[in-house]
Amino acid sequence: MDAGARLALAQDFLREAVYASRAKQAAGSELARLAAPRVKGSCGLGAAAAVELELSPRGAQLYAQLWPAGHADLRALQATMERWVVEQDALDRDRNHFLKAFRHEHGFDRRAWSPNLLAEYEAGLAAIAVREDEERSRLAATLD
């Protein structure tokens, strides 16, 4: 497998770790919401990242493609997965905080925004997306 294809699979593998963790986080957040109302000012992601290291069916497929003979150091792999889940959680919080601040300052109806304001909004989201892609790619490149 060439390096580009392997990097793409490794990035997908890290995304799967986030998806599994998000499912865990969503379940925990819903239970917490039922126990107590949401705290005003929270971004909706809960207090901290929830980390789930069990592989989803798709995660297991990606694992088999990346490491057909098994990974040499599962603890290191799990540490990388956990690191990415925590980093992704922080990036999602940054995105949510940007959205909240921008909308509070300029209103929630994008149709009322000027073209310049809309461009500023889209550029802010794009900058966060670029940072996310770069960080995921950097970390995926370390998976061996």
Q: HEC string of 42-105?
A: CCCCCCCCCCCCCCCHHHHHHHHHHCCCCCCCHHHHHHHHHHHHHHHHHHHHHHHHHHHHHHHH
Q: Which helix (H) or strand (E) holds 11?
A: helix 3-35
- pLDDT-derived band at 48, boundaries 50, 70, 90: low
Find where tokens 């794009």 sit.
Answer: 126
* pLDDT of the residue at 40: 52
Selected residue with higher pLDDT from 69 and 54: 69
What the block records as the tokens of 67 is: 């490491």
Give the per-residue pLDDT at 65: 96
Q: What is the mean pLDDT of residues 1-25?
A: 89
Task: Copy the structure tokens of residue 34.
Answer: 């039922």
pTM of the model: 0.78
Whether residue 91 is predicted with pLDDT greater than 70 in this model: the reply is yes
**What distance in Å separates the CA atoms of residue 87 and residue 133, rounded to the nearest whole number?**
12
Distance, in Å, from the CA atom of 53 to the CA atom of 86, rounded to the nearest integer, reads 12
Can you say whether residue 125 is alpha, beta or left, with left for phi > 0 and alpha for psi between -120 and 50 degrees? alpha
pLDDT given for residue 49 in this prediction:
72
What pLDDT score was predicted for residue 43? 47
**pLDDT (mean) for 85-95:** 93
For the ranges 37-41, 60-64, 100-104, the lowest mean pLDDT is seen at 37-41
Determine the average pLDDT of the residues in 66-79.
Answer: 95
Q: What is the pLDDT of residue 82?
A: 93
Does the structure show a pLDDT above 70 at 38?
no
For the chain, domain boundaries: 3-140
Query: Is the alpha carbon torsion for 23, 83, 9, 137 positive or negative?
Result: positive
Which of 46-50, 110-114, 138-142 bottoms out in mean pLDDT, i.e. has the lowest? 46-50
